[in-house]
Structure 1
């Protein structure tokens, strides 16, 4: 019996390596039906279930691995914490899992780094820095620990020893592309805060070069334009709903990355009738798993199909424990899916965020975004993508004029009350003073803007491009001189 189980386990592992994940999962289940006390196989089942989006089942598999006496149990507690935090948004339970890992191994650096992430999400800079600093003390050469410490540090002195340490690290031989990107973006941020703008731009440029090396394909302007053309052609209207349809849709907030979407969510969720959902993965997962090739697969689909998608969306919300008050779904790249949103939730309100193109494009270039967002790694490509966003946003506004609102970041920080009144009016929410002070709101923030949105509204990020006027020729070529001249 043991020999059969071992053979099946090897076959399951082979299927996994071949990316035949469903077959691998079935093979592991056959193994465990023969011998349920195989901790490594339970661990692999947990990994596969999490990859399949079955978070609760993954947790159960991880628990079985722990019960069966898996080696290095701290790693399993770490896996549990990632599921609880990223998939189920259960921060207290995630922290408890990390603390369990550290109780087993107090020097387990991955758990310290993840614990620091949780503290960052909660706005506890001091605790986050302490966790990261401990990880760095344990592993002084750990690039991720170094960059995490830098990310929660405020810089004013260009001679700060941490800047010197980052500069030395970025020049280290043998770094992987992801390590070069990590430390490069951290160095760029530090130099920017210390007002060493030319050096900062150089650090950001090198970081983006490393990020490009991680991408499978380069940015393709023709493909990007063609995709937006297809979206405009497919989504030129909404669908008729069945009689008695009740729309309890979230408020969808989307736009270019770094255009103010996190701030918009903080403002809206400061209202007593609204809860923040954050960057929910539900729509992109529906598109990826059910709607390929997108968007042409949706041509002539009946309303019943969108009702099914709507039901699946709501089920996912319930699994995440986000029922109750009206919810925000703030995922910037959902601007690609406004047409789908309006077919799934015909009465949905959509807030698109907009920011000065020079500031927005520079901010994207300076952000450590995922390598698959290939447009982000050069000013030419981010400018092209910004233009596609504007083109698509104009289409959504013309197609759904009563249900799409553009919140202008620069207008907001110049005249907060007026803009917030307009925003709340669009959402049919009465005025509440709390919305004027979004930095005082509670809850997690899990974006690159996590620290900015915890500060009072200010104009410091508007016109930031002026610090980099000698480096923005691609943006001037795309948009013309800001205000007619670079002043």
Structure 2
């Protein structure tokens, strides 16, 4: 054994230390240096896969996880679970994801995380009964709530089979799990409260539902900094300052097929519905909520938006090609033959200035709805408090809505002919009359299948995946009226932002 091989323990400790410090790029380099010397260190391959996944390098991550399996890593079911997550969450390869989860379960039939992820995948693919079977299997493994996957399964099962009445045993079990004194992760307990709130909402008990949603919000956000309105206003000003004028069309502007089509607006404003409607058109492929632009901002464009001033035509062309390549990787099935491919990430409304720099000819679809309904829907949803700090309170939601509208007003002043408003409330009342102008805006012919969107067999990876499996319905419009006595802080903050609210 030569001297460098003697250093293997130190190399491994060094690489592991870099990973713990979140120095991902350095950790990748260190693990690769180690594995060149000793390629059979299974745990090093596993950690390399983890670091690559965090960096968004998904194919190399899959390879590294595969090497961990090949070299006999213990608890191989965990490796299959990680590979499944990459296939499902990042690469839209749902068949491969399911195969990995079933491989994990073949090794460990009672491995609850794999059962839970398989249930989630079945939900995203519209397979209700298969999802229910997975969640029931978890509850059979752990018949009494005792921790993680079982309680997540209970929360999901209550969504798929809502309690029939206030005496339903499932409702009682959900209440006990949400309010138990057992030590639980804040996010998991919040999930239980949100599930309980939706159950009460379905049963026509708005007061009980609101109490549950409020408990879920407080639990989810209690360990995170509160929403800072002054900082939000500063961020809005910074974006407006960074993109004060329309983007020009450089001679080397990317003109690739399919064209990226951006659907954005407030969360819970109908963006998933619109993407499904368009996915039923033969000229549109749905790529879902993509992390391509946010990853770009966290890497090449730090600090954003100030970095936008230094982008020359060559850098813009490179970033546009990078984005489009990532878009093509994430298209399901034969999507590459379509005219448009949708990027349906609601908070991309923050990035319209950047989008128009990268793709000067890009069209933007802006979804919106009644601000009281929109605010209530955000309050009823468990959004990541690290990203959506405003969603923790009704007042924060209303203030954020004001900043969103301020920014959209700016973008529309720059690109009045390239941003089309999609009114969710108008669509559910008059779908064809609302959709025809939108298709004309895109230069697409009318297609009757667009109004049969609920029959699509595609995967939907947002919180709205069951809503868009139903024919068009309108009960979400005006829902705020049932909760009006609790929504004072939302109304007040909307009014302060100059937004009219219905009586």
TM-score (norm 1): 0.96
| 1:235 maps onto 2:243 in alignment | yes
**Structure 2: gaps spanning 5 or more residues:** none
8 Å contact 2:80–2:103 — kept in the other structure?
yes
Pick one of 432, 447, 463 that aligns with 1:417: 432
Q: Which range moved further: 477-486 or 114-123?
A: 477-486
* CA distance in structure 2 between the aligned counterparts of 1:382 and 1:220, rounded to whole angstroms: 11
Hey, what does 1:346 align to over in structure 2?
A: 360
8 Å contact 1:280–1:330 — kept in the other structure?
yes
Hey, what does 1:366 align to over in structure 2?
A: 380
| 1:397 maps onto 2:412 in alignment | yes
Shift of the 213–313 alpha-carbon distance from structure 1 to 2, 3 Å rule, reads same
Q: Segments of 4+ in structure 1 off by > 6 A?
A: 481-485
8 Å contact 2:229–2:396 — kept in the other structure?
yes
| 1:180 maps onto 2:183 in alignment | no
Q: Which range moved further: 302-311 or 365-374?
A: 302-311
8 Å contact 1:214–1:371 — kept in the other structure?
no
TM-superposition CA deviations, 1:56-105 (whole Å, max 9, x none): 11111111111111101111111110111111110000000001111111
Hey, what does 2:337 align to over in structure 1?
A: 324
| 1:114 maps onto 2:114 in alignment | no
Hey, what does 1:261 align to over in structure 2?
A: 271
Shift of the 479–96 alpha-carbon distance from structure 1 to 2, 3 Å rule, reads same
Hey, what does 1:55 align to over in structure 2?
A: 58
Shift of the 10–485 alpha-carbon distance from structure 1 to 2, 3 Å rule, reads closer
SS at 2:336's partner residue?
A: coil
Shift of 1:22: 2.1
Shift of the 236–198 alpha-carbon distance from structure 1 to 2, 3 Å rule, reads same
Matches within 5 A, 1:60-459: 60-140=63-143, 141=145, 142-173=150-181, 174-215=183-224, 217-243=225-251, 245=253, 247-248=255-256, 249-299=259-309, 301-321=311-331, 323-325=336-338, 326-372=340-386, 373-459=388-474
* Root mean square deviation, CA, Å: 1.8
8 Å contact 2:200–2:209 — kept in the other structure?
yes
Shift of 1:3: 4.5
TM-score (norm 2): 0.93
Shift of 1:272: 0.5
Shift of 1:484: 7.3
* CA distance in structure 1 between the aligned counterparts of 2:47 and 2:436, rounded to whole angstroms: 51
SS at 1:290's partner residue?
A: coil
8 Å contact 1:212–1:371 — kept in the other structure?
yes
**Structure 1: gaps spanning 5 or more residues:** none
